[in-house]
Structure 1
Amino acid sequence: MTTDWSQERILVYAPHPDDEMLGCGGLISKAKAAGAEVFVQFLTVGDTADLSPKGFSTAEERYAEIKKVADHFRWDDWHMAFPGDQYHLRLDSVARVDLTQLIERESPLAVERIRPTVVLTPHRASYNQDHQATAEAVHTALRPSNAALRHHPRLVLAYEEAADHWRSEPLCPPNLVVELDEAQMADKLHGMELYGSQHHQHPHTRSEATLRSLAVLRGMQAGVALGEGFHVLRCLA
């Protein structure tokens, strides 16, 4: 399967700022360089206690990081759906119908408004409740229907993050690999550096070594040097 990314309008769903870089930063870099349109729909962000030297990150810091990443990758637009501590790490408390309606038609970046050709979403296997809630809502929003009445993206892919593999049941390997070159890999790593509050030293699931190691593994499985793995949810050829 060869994709001419220059012809695509890509809508990425990221539960939190940095998930889009971890899961598909290389694809975003590759597609934008080819001339694609890229839109990023974040679901939530808030103040968070963490294991960084400072011990926390704030929503204000995260917004500043988003702007740096958006400018670097030349996103066509981005939007935060549910800002604030009421929702951050609590998306599982939001009714799926509310999340689905936002994705379908209520957000400025709703499917019916953007009419993407490609949708990238987190994988539902994540241990993180916000990732699970996002994945399930996107899956519901893109359910099969009459394409004459509702927009159907041609390609729907679930991206992976290294931390997704922390599961008691085995997670099937991705069934689609997007080849990356060194420049696209470097762009992905730089994007994570711009998310300074979320970037960690190795060993950590968000370290440079982890991201590169996963890209090497996925590339090897496809017979190339570097790659990003995806699970195909829909592919209309």
Structure 2
Amino acid sequence: MTFSWSQQRILILSPHPDDEVLGCGGLIHKAKSAGAEVFVQFLTVGNTTDQSSSVSTSPEDRNDEIKRVADHQQWDGWHMAFPGDEYHLRLDQLPRLELANMVEQESPLAIARLRPTMLIAPHRSSYNQDHQAVAEAAHTATRPSNNRLRHHPDFVLAYEEAADQWRTDSVPMPNLLVELTEEDLGSKLEAMRQYATQIHEHPHTRSEETLRSLAVLRGMQAGVPLAEAYHIMRCLA
């Protein structure tokens, strides 16, 4: 298999602002450094109060953070599909068809419009209902069909987050490990710092120690210092 990051147009589905960094922050830096295009499709954002703190954040706060992260990692574009409290943490109440159509056709960053070579979405094993809904929508939007009539990304991947392991059922072992450099991981950690309302002190699933520890663990499994892990849904070589 011959693979070049420089030839990729990557579309990342992020249920909320910060999920794309938690799952793909290292890959984003690696791909952009090689010359790839990276776009982030956010699904929702609203007023939130984190259960582990008394900090309340507004959509305006989160949008400012997105802009800082986008500048830091030099994204080629981003879009918010369903802003507002009506949707935030309620994506599971939207018809699956509506979510899938947004991803596949209706968003400015829809698969049919952007024609990405790689789509990366959350894994359905997440405990978070929004993550599960987006994962299922991505599954539908990338369903097999005649690729002469409908665009098929060559690569469809699911990213992991440390909190995904909190499940009573079995979470499959990731089957793709992407090697990271210290610079890739450093960019990921700095991007997470830009999400100042979302990063936490250790022990927390969104702490710097957690992100580095998971990168070290996945690197060890590949025989390299650092890595991010993914589940392959489609790989057309």
SS in 1 for 2:179: strand
Question: 1:3 is paired with a residue of what secondary structure?
Answer: coil
How far is the alpha carbon of 1:53 from its aligned partner? Answer: 4.8
Deviation at 1:44, TM superposition (A): 0.1
Instruction: Give the 5 Å matches for 1:37-186.
Output: 37-51=37-51, 53-186=53-186
Aligned twin of 1:218 = 218
Look up the equivalent residue of 1:149 and give its one-letter code: L
For residues 52 and 168 of structure 2, the distance between their equivalents in structure 1, rounded to whole angstroms, comes to 27
How far did residue 173 of structure 1 move? 1.3
Amino acid at match of 1:11: L
Could you say which residue in structure 1 is the equivalent of 2:188? 188
Residue 174 of structure 2 contacts residue 231 of structure 2 at CA under 8 Å; is this kept in 1? yes
Deviation at 1:2, TM superposition (A): 5.9
1:173–1:80 CA distance, 2 compared to 1 (3 A):
same
CA deviations on 1:32-66 (whole Å, 9 max, x unpaired) are 01100000000000000114654311111100000
**For 2:89 and 2:3, how far apart are their aligned partners in 1?**
35
Change beyond 3 A, Cα 1:49–1:108: same
Q: Is the 8 A contact 2:55 2:197 kept in 1?
A: no
Q: Is the 8 A contact 2:100 2:141 kept in 1?
A: yes
Q: Which residue of 2 aligns with 1:15?
A: 15
What TM-score, normalized to structure 1?
Answer: 0.98
Aligned residues: 237
SS of residue matched to 1:29 = helix
Residue 197 of structure 1 aligns to a residue whose secondary structure is coil
Q: Tell me the residue number matched to 1:209.
A: 209
1:229 aligned onto 2:215? no
Identity of aligned residues (%): 66
Stretches (4+) displaced over 6 A: none
Any idea what SS the aligned residue of 1:119 has? strand
Distance 1:2 1:164 in 2: 31
Distance (Å, rounded) in 1 between the aligned partners of 2:151 and 2:76 = 20
